[in-house]
Amino acid sequence: MLHVDLSADEGNEQAALAVLDELELSRLKAYLYPGPRRRFSLCRAALRSILADKLGCRTDQITFAATEQGKPYACLEGRPVPVGFNLSHSGNHGLIAISTTGRPVGIDVEERTPRRNLDELASTVCTPAERAELASSPDHQKLDRFLRLWTAKEAIIKAFGTGHTLDVSRLQVPKPMRKGEPTATFATPQMPGTTWRLDNLENQPFAAALAQPFPPS
């Protein structure tokens, strides 16, 4: 897992733009505000650099495609490569996860900023057990506990690679992780035959989680 500093820095932003290809530069134009533009360009440039290092190639030799469900994958000279990846960003923080075995991986990060509609969000994305636990939490802990749940669910969805076709309100984060354990394994009927591992990557600035098959190789 790699952390990408997404704070404003003109030198870093110009260097990132020099790494992006024409398609990425075209996508960049769709972002109307500096913050989203900066996060996209810095994360994509960092991803290209990491993949080039893993594959032993130049950054401009890498292209990207996506599955029918929208999960992106990397190609080298037009051929898919056995390196899985996923990225996420929030505020000034970007996280990139790499799977050198090519197996699926999902990561999510959320900067710790207040949510005015926290109860409404919880009613939409949490299971009854998760909502009950949040409701019984002290007020000063509710945001952190909600973000722990939300990043875990997002990481799982992104690892599955099926987009948001899964009903997150029925996807329950394992109880050990809900209670604060840093790792947990679980299986779900939505992905039969696979055991998954969740890692809590949270720190003071942000909540984050990583999901991948278990064992990872």
- What tens digit of pLDDT does each residue of 174-210 get? 999 998 899 999 887 777 778 899 999 999 999 999 9
Angle, CA of 207, 128 and 184, to the nearest 5°: 45
Alpha helices in 108-168 (DSSP H): 118-125, 128-135, 139-160
The pTM of this model reads 0.92
Give the pLDDT band (50/70/90) at residue 101. Answer: confident
| Predicted local distance difference test score (pLDDT) of residue 163 | 63
Give the mean model confidence (pLDDT) for residues 2-25.
95
Residue 158 neighbours by CB under 8 Å, 6+ apart = 71, 86, 88, 106, 107, 108, 211
Q: Does an H or E element contain 196, and which? A: strand 195-200
Q: Which residue from 44, 40, 34, 47 is spatially nearest to 8, judged by alpha carbons? A: 34
Cβ density class 136-146: b for 16+ within 10 Å, e for less: eeeeeebbebb
Q: Is 95 helix (H, G, I), strand (E, B) or coil?
A: strand
| Predicted local distance difference test score (pLDDT) of residue 216 | 61
Give the mean model confidence (pLDDT) for residues 122-130.
94
**Long-range contacts of the stretch 68-76 (C-beta < 8 A, 24+):** 69/161, 69/162, 69/163, 69/165, 70/163, 71/104, 71/158, 71/161, 71/162, 71/163
Q: How many CA atoms lie within 13 A of 17 on its CB side?
A: 12
| Predicted local distance difference test score (pLDDT) of residue 165 | 66
The Cβ of residue 99 has, within 10 Å, a number of other Cβ atoms equal to: 19
Q: Is 138 helix (H, G, I), strand (E, B) or coil?
A: coil
